[in-house]
Amino acid sequence: MCVTDSAGNTMPLWCLLVLLALPDPTVTTNPGVKVQITQQGLDYGRQIGIAYLQEKLKSISIPDISGSEKVSPIGKVEYRLSGMRITDLGLPQSSLGLVPGTGISLSIGNAFINLHGDWHVKYLKFIKDSGSFDLAVSGLTIKATISVGRDETGRPTISSNGCTASVGGVRVKFHGGASWLYNLFTSFIEKQLRRSLEQKICPLVHDGISDLNPQLKTLNVLAKVDKYAEIEYSMVTPPSISNFLIELSLKGEFYNIGQHQEPPFSAPPFSLPPQTSSMLYIGLSSFMANSAGFVYNRAGALSLYITDDMVPSSSPIRLNTKTFGVFIPEISKRFPDMMMKLLLKTSTQPNVTFEPNNVTLQATGTLTAYAILPNTTLEPLFILNMDASVSGNFYISGLKLVGSLQLNGFDMSLGTSYVGEFQVKPLHNIFMLVMKLAVIPKVNEYLQQGFPLPAIGRMNLINSKLQVQKVRLVTPQKPDKCSMLKLHLCSSLFQAVIS
Ligand SMILES: *[C@@H]1O[C@H](CO)[C@@H](O)[C@H](O)[C@H]1NC(C)=O
Ligand SMILES: *[C@@H]1O[C@H](CO)[C@@H](O)[C@H](O)[C@H]1NC(C)=O
Ligand SMILES: *[C@@H]1O[C@H](CO)[C@@H](O)[C@H](O)[C@H]1NC(C)=O
C-alpha cells in the first residue's frame, strides 16, 4: 500500500496515512445484541419467499422463437412461435438450507409451468398454416445459493450467487393445422422452448432474491428511545452461518442522541447457547443495559424531584417539616409548617447485572431534602448518600422491551447537614415509603414506554418469552460469566409481514 518513488524508496508519511485509514484487525467490537435465525425461522421465511417467487416467475416473458428446419420430404419449413404466455406455474417443493460460512441454499423441485402460444409455418414457398399450442413443463428444478452479508450501514444484505435451472420434461400439444406437421416439429420445438425457459428462470430468481434487500434495509440501525437516547443496532461483523443457524451480531449500544461517546467500559464477548426449537432468538448482554445507564446518567436524566403530591393521599407520611421535625427537631424549629421537596439523583451510572431470572440494578446517588420557603425558594436541609438495589421484570410488548422495577433495599448515610447532627437510621422507614410510593411508580411509568428492539420491515413479535440467563464468556482468559436477557420467540407466534 505504500507509495514508492522512482528510486524505490517508500515515502513514510503516505504509508502512515494509509495505515491509519485501515481498521485495526485486532480491535473488534463485541456485540451487545445477538440475533439467531434458526432453520425454523428460515422455513417461515421460505413460505413468504416462495409465494413471492412464484408470482415473479409468472412474469417470465418468452420471446418469439423462429427458424427453419429441413423436413423431408417437404424440404425447408419456416416456423415461428409467438404470443407465449404462462397460464399456470407451481412451485410445490422447496427448501432453504444453511451452507456454513456462505449463506443459504435454495432448492426448488418438481415445479411445473404451463404456457400457451401460437404457431405459424410456411413451406413449399407459399403454403402457410397456423394454430395454437399448449406447452407443459414438468420436473423443473431450480437451485440457487444466497449469500448473506452486511452493507456499509451495518444492515444485512443478500444476493444470489450461483443458480441453475433445469427442466425435466416438456410436452407440446398443437391445436389446428395438419397433424402430420406436428410430428415433424415436436422434437426441435421442445428443445428450443426448453432452452429458452432455462435461460429465463435464473435471472428472475436472482432479481427475486435482490428484491428482498429493500426490506433488509429497514433494519432500525439507529432506534430512537426518547429525547435523550438512541440505540445503535448496526451489525458489527458480517453474519455468521453455521449448520444450524444464522447469527447476527448487532452493536446494541445506547448513545446520547447525536453524540456518540463510548462509555469507559466495553462489551464483553458472549455467546448464545445453541438452541433450535424456535424461529428466532435475541440475546441482549448486560453491556446494553449498562450503556443505557451511562447515557442517561451523562444526560443528567437520572434525577427526580419528589414532591408531596406524588405521595398518595392515603399515606400517613407527608413531605413536610412537621414529619421530619419529629426526627430532626431543628427542622420544625427553623422552618415551621412548610412543605418539603426531595431531589434524588445518581452520582455515578447505575450498574446492571443479569442473574438467572433476575435483573438487578445497583445505583449510587444522593438525596437532598429542601424546605419550600413561603416565597418558594428551596432551602437545603441535608444531603444523604444512598446506595439502592432494585430488581426488574422485563417482557416484550410489540417490538419493545418493557419493564418494571421493585425496590430490594437501600443504605443511607449522612453527606451534609444544614440542620445539625442527626441520626439517619430512624429516617429509613420514611424514605422506604417515599421510594415505594413515589419514586418506583414514577420510574415504572417511564419503563412502560419501553425500549425498541431490532426490527425489520413490518415484523411483529407475539407472545415472546423472556429469560434471563448466565452465559459463558467466549474468551477463555476471562473466567467471569456474562449475563444476558434472552428473548425466546415461539415459532407459531412470530409474525413478519414482508410487503
Ligand atoms: C458492576 O458491578 C460488578 C460487580 O459488582 C462489577 O464487576 C462491574 O465492573 C460493574 N460494572 C460497571 C459498569 O460498573
Ligand atoms: C434479585 O436479586 C436481588 C439481589 O440479589 C434480590 O435482592 C432479589 O430478591 C432478587 N429478586 C428475585 C425476584 O429473585
Ligand atoms: C426568600 O426568603 C428567604 C428567607 O426569608 C430569603 O433569604 C430569600 O432571599 C428569598 N428569596 C427570594 C427569591 O425572594
CB of 19 closer than 6 angstroms to any ligand 3 atom:
no
pLDDT digits 0-9 by tens, 258-302 = 888 899 988 888 877 777 777 888 888 889 989 999 999 988 888
Distance in Å, CA 335 to ligand 3 centroid: 13
pLDDT at 341: 96
Atom 5 of ligand 2 has which residue's CA nearest to it? 360
pLDDT at position 273 is 75
Structural contact between residues 470 and 453, judged by C-beta atoms closer than 8 angstroms: no
* 299-357 pLDDT, tens digit each: 888 899 999 999 998 888 899 999 999 999 999 999 999 999 999 999 999 998 887 77
The residue contributing the CA closest to ligand 3 atom 8 is 377
Q: Which of the given ranges, 393-397, 425-429, 478-482, 494-498, has the highest pLDDT on average?
A: 425-429
- Residue by residue, DSSP assigns 78-145 as EEEEEEEEEEEEE--EEEEEEETTTEEEEEEEEEEEEEEEEEEEEETTTEEEEEEEEEEEEEEEEEEE
Mean pLDDT of 143-171: 92
Nearest CA, atom 13, ligand 3 = 377
Quick check: bond before 92 cis, omega within 30? no
What's the pTM value of the predicted model, to 2 decimals? 0.81
Instruction: State in Å: Cα 333 to ligand 3 middle.
Output: 18
Pairing of strands 280-285, 303-307: unpaired
Task: Among 313-317, 423-427, 466-470, 482-486, name the one with the lowest average pLDDT.
Answer: 482-486
Asked if residues 201 and 165 have their Cβ atoms less than 8 Å apart, the reply is yes
Nearest to 96 by CA among 152, 139, 158: 158
Query: Which CATH code fits 222-452?
Result: 3.15.20.10
C-alpha of residue 272 to centroid of ligand 2, in Å: 23
Mean of the per-residue pLDDT values of the chain: 83
Mean pLDDT of 59-81: 85
The architecture (CATH level 2) of 42-215 comes to Super Roll (3.15)
Alpha-carbon distance of 363 to 346, in angstroms, equals 7
- Residue of 51, 147, 132, 159 whose CA lies nearest to 99: 147
> What are the start and end residues of each CATH 3.15.20.10 domain in the chain?
222-452
Radius of gyration of the chain (CA): 35
CA 470 to centroid of ligand 1, rounded, Å:
15
CA of 487: how far to CAs of 35, 64, 96, 253, in Å? Answer: 10, 54, 24, 17
